[in-house]
Amino acid sequence: MEPDRTEGMELPERDVWAAMLRGWRGRCPNCGQGSLFRAFLKVADHCPACDEAFHHERADDAPAYFVILIVGHVVVPMVVAVEVAFAPPYWVHLSLWIPLTIGLSLVLVQPIKGAIVALQWAWRMHGFNPDDAEPLPVPTRQPVQRK
């Protein structure tokens, strides 16, 4: 928790790299203790340890973009290198690169999403900045209002 402050007071800097490392590990960017996720790719509304709000996050499709960027830059050179060196039949390519691509993507997507949410938190993007005039997204676990 950050100390109380009066309006107009400068917000304290947040350590971007420490926050992103915590997010990469699936931990709260604020305290590093509570889990950032409530499911594989569902970000929790609040940290269970320090109660920091996460429902402001808007990672959107940035995690998928970075996963494609990284996995593509790992797998494509390997495909080319194996093709140039051994020219194996296509079934060998398929049985190597499809599982590798899917596996790498599944391994990377949660840490990358955690790091992106933590980056948004550290830079006080969207609702993570209490002074932001942007309307705040509603937490997903609020009770449903029925008439």
Q: Judged by CB, which is closer to Zn ion: 52, or 67?
A: 52
**Residue of the chain from 28, 43, 44, 118 that contacts Zn ion (CB under 5 A):** 28
Whole-number Å distance between alpha carbons of 65 and 124: 21
Q: Out of 49, 62, 96, 100, which residue is the one contacting Zn ion (CB under 5 A)?
A: 49
CB of 111 closer than 8 Å to CB of 12 = no
Task: Specify whether the CB–CB gap between 53 and 45 falls below 8 A.
Answer: yes
Dig out the tokens for 99 from the structure. Answer: 């599982």
> Is 54 strand, coil or helix?
coil
Q: How many residues interact with Zn ion (rule CB under 5 A)?
A: 8
> Is residue 29 part of the contact set for Zn ion (CB under 5 A)?
no
Contact flag: residue 118 with Zn ion (CB under 5 A): no
The span of 50-58, 84-92, 101-109, 127-135 binding Zn ion (CB under 5 A) equals 50-58
Classify residue 7 by its DSSP letter.
Answer: T
Binding site for Zn ion (CB under 5 A): 28, 30-31, 34, 47, 49-50, 52
